[in-house]
Amino acid sequence: MKFESKPIKEHEEVPLADNGELETLVEHFKNRSARRENSHSSRSGCYVVCVGDWSEDYGRDAQLAEIVGLVGAQGDRVVGSETIKQRRPDPATVLRSGKAKAAAERAVRLGANMLIVDAELKPSQIRNLEDLTGMPVCDREGVILNVFLRHAKTQTARIQVEIAHLSYLKPLICGLGLEMDQQAGGIMAGRGPGETASELLARRLDKRLAELKKSLRRVQIAGEAQRKRRGQCKRIALVGYTNAGKTTLMNHLASTELVAQDMPFVTLDTTVRCLTRHGGDVLLSDTVGFIRRLPNRLLASFATTLAELREATLIVPVVDASDPEWEMHLETTHKMLVTLGADEIPRYYVFSKADRLATLPSKEALEIVSSGHDYQFISNQDKEAIGELKETLIGRARADLRRTKLYVPYDASKAMEIVYRSCRVVETETKPNGLLFSLEAESYVIDQIQRQRPIQRRSTEQ
Ligand SMILES: Nc1nc2c(ncn2[C@@H]2O[C@H](COP(=O)(O)OP(=O)(O)OP(=O)(O)O)[C@@H](O)[C@H]2O)c(=O)[nH]1
Ligand SMILES: [Mg+2]
C-alpha cells in the first residue's frame, strides 16, 4: 500500500466570518482579555487568582504556573497573582466576597485591568464577580478558549474552536437580558415583534452554530476519503499533555517542519505523515495536546478529530520528563485515552527532554506509570536515539498478525463486536451457545477478546 505524503488539503471555501451584526455583537461580548479591554495600552495586564483545595504547596504552585502560562499564550501579561485555598466555592461568586474584593484591590494597585480566575465559573458567577470587584473577569475555560482561538490556523481548527467559543459565549451574552437590550438596541435592526434583543441574539447564535456544524461536517466528509486511503496503513499516533514535545518529535521522526514552541496548544490540527520512505505503510500523526480539566465544550468540538486515535495501531504517549508535574500529565493522558476509547491500543512511551534531567527516574517508578509498556527516554538533540526510536516504532507498528481459533458465546456482545470490527474472520463454526471463529488479528486484539470474562468461563466449560 502506497501513501503519498502530502499535507491535508483544507476546504478553503468554507465560510467562517459573519461580517454582519452578529460579528459586531460577538466581538463586543467576546471573552475579554486585558489587551482588548484596554486597547490604548500595549502593556495592559492580568491579575491571576488561582483557587483550589491543595493538600501540598507543590500542587498549588504547579496549578498557578500552568494558568500563568495559559494567560501568556493568550497574548496577555501577568502583572501579579495569588492563590486562594478554599474547600467549598461560594455559590454566587466562587470566591468569598472579602477575598475577591481584596484580590481586586491588589490587582488595581499593580495596574491590572482584568481578573483571571482559575476555576470553572458559571455565567452568573462571572457577572456577580464583575459586580463585586468592578473588574472584567475571565475564567479558566475562557482563557483556554482564547489560546485556542489565537492558535487555530486551518479551517477545520477554526471552525472547531469557533463552535466551542460560541457555545461558551451564548449563556454569557443572553444572560445579560435587559442590560443587553439597552446596549444593543441601536445595533440590532431586524428584531421581530415582541422579541427582545437577547432573544434575537440567541436565535442568531443558534443559527450561526448550526451553520458552523454543517461546515465542519463538510470539511470532515472531505477528509474521510483521505482517511479511507490510509485505512490499510499502520498508524502511529503521538499523544500527550500540551507542550510535551510531540511536534518536535514528529519533526525529527518524519522530517516535517511543523511549528513547535514553548507554549501550550501550539498544535490544534492532526498532521499525518509517512514514517517510512517514499510513501509506505507506516504513518505518524501529531495531535492536539491534552490538559487537566479540558473544557467539555472543546472536547466535544474536537471529538471527531480525536476519535481518529481509536484507529491507531500504536499509541505513543509523549511525556515531558523534565516537568515536575510529569506524573499528573501522564495521568491526564491516560484518562483522555480512556475517554476516547483508545486505551486498549498498544502503547510505547516516550519520555522527552531527557537532556534537562540530571538523573532519570527509577526503573520501578517508570514501570508502574507506564503500566508495564515499553518506554524510551529521548532528547531532541540525540539523533542516534531518535533513529533507534524510529526503527522501534516502525517495527512495533508492523507487528505480525496472529492466526487463532476463538470461541465467543452469543451473550459476549462486546467480544463479538471486537471480532467483527478488528479481526479478519477466516471461518465460522456454529456451536450451541456461540460461534467458534478462525480468525486473524493483531495480538493485542486477541488479548482484548480473551479478557472478556464470559469467554474465558465458557471456553473452559467447552
Ligand atoms: N530541551 C529540550 N526541549 C525540547 C525537547 N523536545 C521539545 N522541546 C521543546 O519543548 C517545547 C514544546 O515542544 P512542542 O514540540 O511544541 O510540544 P507539543 O507537545 O507539540 O506542544 P503543543 O502542540 O503545544 O501541545 C519547544 O520549545 C521545544 O523546543 C527536548 O528533547 N529537549
Ligand atoms: Mg505540537
pLDDT digits (tens, 9 = 90+) for 341-365: 898 888 999 999 999 988 887 777 7
Q: Are strands 77-85 and 45-52 parallel, antiparallel or unpaired?
A: parallel
Closest CA relative to residue 371, chosen from 340, 397, 349, 338:
349
8 A C-beta contact, residue 287 and residue 266: no
Only one residue has cell 500523526, namely 285
* Mean pLDDT calculated for residue range 202-210: 85
Under the banding of pLDDT at 50, 70 and 90, the label for residue 2 is very low
Q: b/e for 280-318, b at 16 or more Cβ within 10 A?
A: bbbbbbbbbbbbeebbebbeebbebbbebbeebbbbbbb
Question: Which pairs from 322-330 meet CB under 8 Å and 24+ separation?
Answer: 322/353, 322/354, 322/356, 322/357, 323/244, 323/353, 324/58, 324/62, 325/62, 326/351, 327/369, 328/62, 328/292, 329/240, 329/241, 329/244, 330/241, 330/369
pLDDT digits (tens, 9 = 90+) for 391-400: 999 988 887 6
- Residue position matching grid coordinates 456461540: 434
Question: Is 241 annotated as belonging to a binding site?
Answer: yes
Q: By mean pLDDT, which of 66-70, 86-90, 370-374 is the weakest? A: 370-374
Identify the pLDDT of residue 318: 97
CA 148 to CA 77: how far, in whole Å? Answer: 17
Closest atom, ligand 1, to C-alpha of 151: 24
Question: Helix (H, G, I), strand (E, B), or coil: what is residue 185?
Answer: coil
**DSSP state letter for 240:** -
Q: What is the mean pLDDT of the chain?
A: 82
Ligand 1: nearest atom to the Cα of 268: 23
8 Å CB contact between 313 and 235: yes
For residue 267, the ligand 1 atom closest to its alpha carbon is: 23
Q: Is 168 within any annotated ligand binding site? A: no
Distance 70 CA to ligand 2 centre (A): 15
Rounded Cα distance, 236 and 316, in Å: 7
Per 3-state DSSP, the chain is made up of helix, strand and coil in percentages (nearest 5) of: 45, 20, 35
Instruction: Please return the burial class of 342, using the count of CB atoms within 10 Å of its CB with bins 0-12, 13-18 and 19+.
Output: buried
Relative to the alpha carbon of 246, which ligand is closest? Answer: 1
pLDDT for 365? 77
Q: According to CATH, what is the number of the domain 401-461?
A: 3.30.70
Whose alpha carbon is nearest atom 1 of ligand 1?
353
Pocket probe for ligand 1: among 247, 376, 377, the residue whose CB has the most ligand atoms within 8 Å is 247
pLDDT category of residue 331 using cuts at 50, 70 and 90: very high
Instruction: Tell me what pLDDT residue 371 has.
Output: 76
Per-residue pLDDT band at 237 (split at 50, 70, 90):
very high
Q: Ligand 1 center to residue 68 CA distance, Å?
A: 18
Asked if pLDDT for residue 456 goes beyond 80, the answer is no
411 and 446 in contact (C-beta within 8 Å)?
Answer: no
pTM over 0.90: no
Whose Cα sits closest to atom 11 in ligand 1? 262
Question: Considering Cα of 167, then 173, then 174, then 175, what sign does the dihedral take?
Answer: positive
Task: Say what the ipTM of the complex is.
Answer: 0.99
CA of 235: how far to CAs of 21, 45, 275, 346, in Å? 45, 44, 9, 12
From the CA of 245, the nearest ligand is 1
- 71-87 residues labelled b (16+ CB within 10 A) or e (exposed): bebbebebbbbebbeee
Most confident of 17-26, 65-74, 218-227: 65-74
29 is in an annotated binding site: no
- Which pLDDT value is given to residue 265? 95
The Cα–Cα gap between 141 and 332 comes to 17
The atom number, within ligand 1, closest to the CA of 378 reads 31
> Which of 261, 318, 336 gets mutated to test ligand 1 (max ligand atoms within 8 A of its CB)?
261
pLDDT score of 219: 84
Q: Is 362 annotated as a binding residue?
A: no
Decide which of 3.30.420, 3.30.460, 1.10.3470, 3.40.50 is the CATH code for 33-135: 3.40.50
All 3 cell numbers of residue 421?
Answer: 470490527
Domain(s) of CATH 3.30.70: residues in the chain: 401-461
DSSP alpha helices (H): ranges in 11-96? 21-29, 34-37, 57-73
Q: Cβ < 6 Å from ligand 1: which residues?
A: 242-248, 260-262, 264-267, 289, 352-353, 355-356, 379-380
pLDDT of residue 26: 61
- Separation of CA 20 and ligand 1 centre (Å): 40
Please give the single-letter amino acid code of residue 207. K
Q: What residue's CA is closest to ligand 1, atom 4?
A: 353
Q: Is 244 annotated as a binding residue?
A: yes
Ligand 1, atom 14: closest residue by C-alpha: 245
Residue 287 is assigned to a ligand binding site: yes
**225 alpha carbon to ligand 1 midpoint, in Å?**
31
Give 218 Cα–ligand 2 centroid separation in angstroms. 25
381 is annotated as contributing to ligand binding: yes
Burial status of residue 49 (CB atoms within 10 A of its CB: 0-12, 13-18, 19 or more) = buried
In the sheet where 424-431 sits, what is the strand order?
401-409, 434-442, 424-431
pLDDT at 43 over 80: no
- Determine the distance separating the centroid of ligand 2 and the alpha carbon of 195, expressed in angstroms: 45
Q: Which ligand is nearest to the CA of 241?
A: 1
CA 108 centroid distance within chain: 34
When mean pLDDT is compared across 67-76, 150-159, 269-278, 316-325, the lowest value belongs to: 269-278
Does the pLDDT at position 173 exceed 80? no
Does domain 230-397 fall under CATH 3.90.1260.10? My reply is no
Please report the pLDDT score of residue 192 as a whole number.
Answer: 53
Best probe residue, ligand 1, of 243, 258, 294, 350 (max atoms within 8 Å of C-beta): 243
**Does residue 312 sit in helix, strand or coil?**
coil
What's the CA-to-centroid distance between 341 and ligand 2, angstroms?
Answer: 22
Q: What is the pLDDT of residues 436-452, one digit of tens each?
A: 998 877 777 888 888 87
Minimum-distance ligand 1 atom for the alpha carbon of 259: 16
Lowest average pLDDT, out of 130-134, 150-154, 431-435, 457-461, goes to 457-461
Please state the atom number of ligand 1 nearest to the C-alpha of residue 264: 24
